[in-house]
Chain A
Amino acid sequence: MDELMLDGNAAGGVLGEVFAVEMTTATMMCGGCGAAGPVGAMHLFRGAGIVLRCPQCDNALVKITEGGGRMWFDFGGMQTLEIPM
């Protein structure tokens, strides 16, 4: 869709419904290449759900899908998530 944003920033809303802290400044380390950076700087793709990809190696870090009153998080591509408290 034309109007979609394509940064990790765009996942801030959905992440904010689940986590009680600001998540776009949290740091994700890629399980593929080991690069680390803020969620806001990840690449975001939107289809049936949301996929956050590593800007260095394109590895899918997180997949988020919503439906039927539930939310699924697949953190399989991520090594660590560091959250500022």
Chain B
Amino acid sequence: MAGTTVLGRLTWQAATVAGVAAETPRVTTIAFDVPGWPGHQAGQHVDVRLTAADGYQAERSYSIASAPGGTRVELTVVHIDDGEVSPYLTGELRRGDQIELRGPVGGYFVWAPGDGGPLLLAAGGSGVAPLMAMVRLRAAAGSAVDTRLLVSSRSWEEIIYREELERLAGGRLTVVHTLTASAPPGWAGYARRVDAGMLAQVGPGPAERPRVYVCGPTPFVEAVAEALVGLGHQPQAIKTERFGPTGS
């Protein structure tokens, strides 16, 4: 397992913006080229460091949204109005700009096709990013692992990766959306916060011993993890990645 591999110490390295793409009105994906990138596992994150002209530095952690491959690393960032880092990342960065990255980080919240499944992935808002890396890797590897992805978004317009998920879904990948703030006319899907009943319907159930990954704002993760344990899932099988409040 990679978690037991001696990797050498991490250092900050320069990353060059290779592309910027809007996902939703508030969410942007930034692709970086990182020369010498050692490769990453789906679910890992990087630390981003910005340095102002006066030397002031700010650091944030962002999950890697892209599947492992080459020297490319994609981060999906939510614009926080009063944020210190995200307005710069989402609004100011242009192709060719450089920032500093440290990573890849983490061997806990990761999945590889060889780990098997079934998989139950639950995302709140931009928490879908590391789970998207897993879904993308699963597709790229031709894995047939039974995968259920439950995505909670405020509205249809705010679903991140919506079109790509529509393309990838099918076969043994089921994508289920719930909309918590507003739903389009005629919406027949879930329109409430994730709860035990929803998780039981999306499955797989505890008897199938799924590997469970939950990522989102802290209240989302707490509520989902609690509901999963209530349904009978083993706490050790539930891996979580919490973010501060991001309006999701």
Contact = CB atoms under 8 A, between A and B. Distances in A.
Interface in A6-44: 6-10, 12-14, 16-22, 24-25, 38-41
Interface in B31-81: 45-47, 60-61, 78, 80
A11 to B, nearest CB: 9
A61 to B, nearest CB: 15
A40 B60 CA distance: 17
A9 B82 contact: no
Interface in B91-123: 102-103, 105-109
B9 A17 contact: yes
Contacts of B4: 22, 25, 84-85
B11 interface: yes
A20 B8 contact: yes
B6 interface: yes
A25 B3 contact: yes
Given A19-B9, A20-B6, A6 B109 contact: no
A71 B230 CA distance: 41
Measured as residues with beta carbon below 8 angstroms from the partner, the interface class of chain A is: 20 to 34
A51 B9 CA distance: 21
Contacts of B47: 13-14
Nearest to A5: B61
B234 to A, nearest CB: 13
Nearest to B86: A3
A2 B26 CA distance: 15
Contact of A39 (B11, B78, B108, B240): B108
B240 A16 contact: no
B10 A9 contact: no
B242 interface: yes
Interface in B173-228: 218
15 contacts: A2-B82, A2-B244, A2-B246, A3-B84, A5-B61, A9-B105, A12-B107, A13-B102, A20-B8, A21-B6, A21-B7, A22-B4, A24-B105, A25-B3, A39-B108
Given A2-B86, A84-B3, 12 more contacts: A2-B80, A3-B83, A5-B61, A5-B242, A5-B244, A7-B242, A12-B45, A20-B6, A24-B3, A24-B105, A24-B106, A84-B4
